[in-house]
Chains A and B, each alone.
Chain A
Amino acid sequence: MSYKTDYARAHGWGSAHEGVHHFWVQRVTAIALIPLTIFFIFPFANALGGSYEAVRATYQNSWNAFIAVSFVIVGLWHLKLGLQVIIEDYVHSKPLHLTLLLANIILNAAFGIAGVLAIAKIAFSA
């Protein structure tokens, strides 16, 4: 047993041992997503179902590409944090818990990088 007080042992640490960092980043990404969602949704909805050329023209526009890349990065970051909470809440088996937490990080990073590369490839093909 350590000589630390109960308060000192708990201060700044939740059950995930990372303090308020998760809470804070979730809020920052949430706020950023409000304008990003509004700017992303309309060009995307108009492009969806359009011709190959029309869709590429939409994202060869620098502003649309900038918004789409930002939306993918911030959106998937926010999604990663949310899915992490769901895993922590409902998956109690330790091996599965750790596997899913790792998969959550890796898959969100992979999809994020793939999405950014795809949009960049279209944007730079103009």
Chain B
Amino acid sequence: MTDVNRGNRPLSPHLQVYRMYITMVVSGLHRISGFGMTISAVLIIWWFIAAATSPEYFAVVNGLLTSWIGTLVMLASLYGLCHHLLNGIRHLIWDTGRLFDVETIDKTAWFVLLGAPALTLLVLLIVLLG
């Protein structure tokens, strides 16, 4: 598009100009959780490689993932997964053109924000008690 002037258009106001909305928080957490799960993916695949290699190597990686810092990372991963999953479903519903009015969007944002820690606890309970 060489004949189109792309340099002199008005810019939208910067993020910091806006008052904080609940939808901004949920949207930001969606991206952060997705980005953060890169680390989870690397750790889990490393764990599988260790389990396929030898008992000694597995003990090292399994020990690292279940150390206190490893447990913290895995718990954060589970929370990130729950947020990304719930908000992902919200996005898929939007893709069908539904639930777009402002009031509903705020409600579903709160549902995701509060539902993610609740779902995290539910999964933990099932794993620990099951």
Q: Does B88 reach chain A (CB closer than 8 Å)?
A: yes
Q: Among B2, B51, B74, B85, which residue has its beta carbon within 8 angstroms of that of A34?
A: B85
Chain A min CB distance to B33 (Å): 10
- Is the CB–CB distance between B58 and A111 below 8 Å? no
Given contacts A30-B88, A52-B55, contact A9 B41 (CB under 8 A): no
Range of interface residues on B (Cβ < 8 Å): 35 or more
Interface of A is mostly: helix
Given contacts A1-B3, A37-B85, A115-B49, contact A27 B44 (CB under 8 A): no
- Is the CB–CB distance between A83 and B35 below 8 Å? yes
Q: Which chain A residue has the least Cβ–Cβ distance from B34? A: A82
Q: What are 6 pairs between A and B in contact, CB < 8 Å?
A: A30-B91, A48-B65, A48-B74, A49-B66, A72-B45, A122-B51
Taking A1-B3, A44-B44, A111-B41 as given, write out 9 further A-B residue pairs in contact, using a Cβ cutoff of 8 Å, ordered by the A residue number.
A41-B78, A41-B81, A42-B127, A45-B123, A59-B48, A75-B41, A79-B37, A83-B38, A118-B45
